[in-house]
Structure 1
Amino acid sequence: MKRILALVATIVLLVSGLTACAPAAEVAETIKIGLNVELTGEAAVYGTPEKLAAELAVKEINAAGGVLGKQIELVIYDTKTDTAESTSNATKLMTEDGVVAVIGAAISGTTMAAAPVANQYQVPMITPSGSNALVTNDGSAVYPFVYRACFIDPFQGLVLANFAADNLGKTKAVVLGSSSSDYAKDLAAIFSEQFAVKGGTVVATEYYTDADTDFSAILTKVQAAGEFDVVFVADYAVRAGLIIKQAREAGIVVPFVGPDGFESPDLVELAGGAANLNDVYFSTHFSALSEDQKVQDFIANYTAETGEAPSALSALAYDTVYMLKAAIEAAGEVDPVKVNTALEALKDFPGITGTISFDEWHNPVKSAIVVQLVDGVQAAATVVNP
């Protein structure tokens, strides 16, 4: 028995000695922020500029000393424009990569797929451009860990209906949209309702699917429906551009109005050339025509870094990184729950897409900009409130 006790004592001493010599748990040298956006697939045209802008913002912050004395590390995943992939990426970022927050996704569907993950693991997630009204809530209660930097679809619908009626003086509208997309259906419904409130009439409403590329039959029906003086296309550039091209070829010369989905470097090509993009207007979050020095500095830095001009998507992602920086600094530590509390309390953040505060639904409170295209180039920008 004495020998057994002696052996046990020896083992305890050895283990104690090893424990004393073991290194302390490593303290993270960087602050990890996840980026979960569309880098391949149909929506890559939206996710790619957001990635470039986020990288620029992180580079600037790190060059200026980082946050809380640490450098930011951007952990990047591609949703592949797939909801299941977005959910999987968000789970990995929050459970394996140890991020303090996640930026993404770029579109509403993939953002909504990842939202439950953020709530489950209590890690704040902010989408730069997911504009569906239900991104941040389930229809009755706000998701406590999900935010957005862009305005919501109902807001765009209101703004664009007001703009068509008040600024363009139009009274008879045609509404077109994809039946495959909640984005399109919601925008079409809100625009139609508000246009009627403003005293206008919707002459015709026509839907197509995301797979359609030939819109001649729909345009023929529209032309037979009666006189109209404006067309509202509730869709992304990939189809809106084709609709504008085919409409111009069919002799439809009235103004076209659309949402932020119009903004794409491919719009000119899709529309059949710059000549077809006159009298075209779309809502956006940012315009290079702004005289704000912050905006001009961002444009210069982004262009120097990437070799191309920034879009509203770039600006939204850039603001998103800086909002997270502000929240981490306000929290005073790298704790997702405390960062979330600070993010929720963010007030009057001086972004390049406007002065931003969050409402009770975690949507930003700010105005919209409606841009006018002349020969495919932004020629004028009007600030519009709902």
Structure 2
Amino acid sequence: MAVGALALAGCASKEERAGDGNATGNAGWVKGAETVKIGLISPMTGPYAILGILQQNSIQVEMDRINRAGGVGGARLELVVRDSALDPGKAVQAANELTGDNQVRMVVGPSLSAFYNAAKGVYEQNAKLNCQPGVGTGDFSVLKYGFRSQDPNYIGVEKLMQYFKSKGVTSIGLVYEADDAGKANDGFIAELAPKYGIEYLGFQQTRPDDQSHRPYVDKLKDADAIMVSSNASGAKTMAAAGEAGYKGVLAGTSGLQNVSFLDAAGDLAIGSVFSAVNVQFNIRDRESWKPGYKAHVEEVVKRYGVVEGPKSGAEMPKGTAIAADCVTAFAAAAENVKSLDPDKLASAMEQLDISDAETPSGNRIKPADHEFFHVEDLHIYRWDKDDQGWFITDVTPGS
């Protein structure tokens, strides 16, 4: 079979070898290719490996669904994984490697804003479509080949301000790493808080070697609300708030759906809120779940199980549906233009409008500005606890 494939390749026309994906072959318009590869760059080892594992699981579930339905242009999707190991150098190296592989038609990652900022130039310069479910900051509208499937921190902060205003919150502080995301959130709050009549009490910058975040919390003890990091250190802030007996609202963006925050904060997390796109796993009424989300999450749990907080007992699926959305969008765009050419794919992605009933995340995908989601797509969820354990309630103003 391999010899036959090589022979066919040797007889292909110039147009077919150019790889624009429009020629008809044994696999439809994908020129007889057996597979179309999608890359994933994420931390797969080390203290933040859970992020990469969750992304990989959801991407694989969605790829398998698409493959069962006939693949992309008749070709099967195949996942290629590279471990960034929380090292920006390795992330850029992996981006260079996957960008140079002509069989890889889209790359998901590298996750985390600083890592993507280091790698995005590689994608733009080499016309490689990429989709980012783990990057909260930066302007994707200026990119040609980059798309974001995570809710940006800016709209997450704005949704929180809308909620705070509805609840009479008059002051807020920020405890966050002094990285790109922390500095961006500082700017977002400084810009948006006055718009909603809320006083901003300042940014307490944490350090990686901090043993405790108690000093930062103590400086913001008079704030009605404290926004915490969506990264791993946010758990330290919640723990410090518990020690300090803080009585205000603890809030954050979508990272607070992670059960590690509940483990760190204990019962203090009761009443904490976070802004996020559709996250229904801990809403007990499964009949209210969006159909595409329900199907995706139930398959993830069936195949990979759940992540359970060892202290809290709270659960989350061992997958992240917004990573699967990248694959959904890629397949839809490719089928729409019957091509794997990166320029045609990027243009087709901009034209997508996929219903929230059809996506793995349960969110509408309409990335005309290279953002899958917008402020109107976000919800505010509140953590609560009863004798059956932890659950979330949708407390979005007007919902």
Same fold (TM over 0.5): yes
Q: Does 1:256 align with 2:243?
A: no
Corresponding residue number in structure 1 for 2:225: 230
Distance (whole Å) between structure 1 residues aligned to residue 175 and residue 58 of structure 2: 32
Match of 2:97 in 1: 92
Q: 1:187 aligns with which of 182, 185, 192?
A: 185
Cα shift at 1:62: 1.1
Change (3 A) 1:153 1:86: same
Three-state SS of the structure 1 residue aligned to 2:131 is strand
**Pairing 1:321-340 to 2, within 5 Å after superposition:** 321-340=327-346
Give the aligned length.
Answer: 351
* Contact 2:151 2:276 survives alignment (8 Å): no
State which of 121, 124, 127 in structure 2 corresponds to 1:116: 121
Residues 23, 279 of structure 1: alpha-carbon distance in 2 compared, 3 angstrom cutoff? same
CA deviation after TM superposition for structure 1 residue 334, in Å = 2.9
Residues 310-354 of structure 1 deviation map (CA, whole Å, 9 limit, x = unaligned): 559711011111111101111213333322221122234543341
The residue correspondences of 1:2-21 to structure 2 (distance < 5 A) are none
The equivalent of 1:283 in structure 2 is: 275
CA distance in 1, matches of 2:118, 2:239: 34
- Return 5+ residue gaps in structure 2 as ranges: 1-5, 11-31, 307-314
Higher-Rg member (1/2): 1
Report matched runs for 1:1-386 at 5 Å.
23-25=7-9, 27-96=32-101, 98-134=103-139, 136=140, 142-166=142-166, 168-179=167-178, 181-223=179-221, 227-233=222-228, 235-271=229-265, 273=266, 275-288=267-280, 289=283, 290-308=288-306, 314-350=320-356, 351=359, 352-362=361-371, 364-365=373-374, 367-375=377-385, 377-383=390-396
After the TM superposition, which of the residue ranges 301-310 and 278-287 deviates more from structure 2? 301-310
| Shift of residue 24, structure 1, vs aligned partner | 2.9
What CA distance in whole angstroms lies between the structure 1 residues aligned with 2:317 and 2:368? 25
Q: Is 2:57–2:319's contact at 8 Å kept on the other side of the alignment?
A: no
Counterpart in the other structure of 1:16? none
Deviation at 1:195, TM superposition (A): 2.0
Structure 1's 64 and 107: CA in aligned 2 closer, same or farther, altered over 3 A?
same
SS in 2 for 1:356: coil
Looking at structure 1, the residues matched to 205 and 294 of structure 2 have their Cα atoms a distance apart, in angstroms, of 39
Change in CA separation of 1:384 and 1:148 when aligned onto 2, cut-off 3 Å: farther
The verdict on how the C-alpha distance between 1:222 and 1:334 changes in structure 2, with shifts beyond 3 A counting, is closer
Q: CA deviation at 1:52?
A: 0.6
The separation in 2 between residues aligned to 1:347 and 1:384, in whole angstroms, is: 25
CA distance in 1, matches of 2:317, 2:146: 24
Q: Secondary structure at the match of 1:151?
A: coil
- Separation in 2, partners of 1:360, 1:111: 18
Give the TM-score of the pair, scaled to structure 1.
0.83
Deviation, 1:104, is: 1.4
Question: How far off is 1:43 after superposition?
Answer: 3.4
Q: Deviations over 1:257-279 (max 9, x none)?
A: 111232323222232x3x12111
Q: Which moved more, 1:37-46 or 1:310-319?
A: 310-319
Give the Å deviation of 1:126.
0.7
Distance 2:300 2:52 in 1: 16
Give the whole-Å Cα distance in 2 for the aligned partners of 1:50 and 1:260: 15
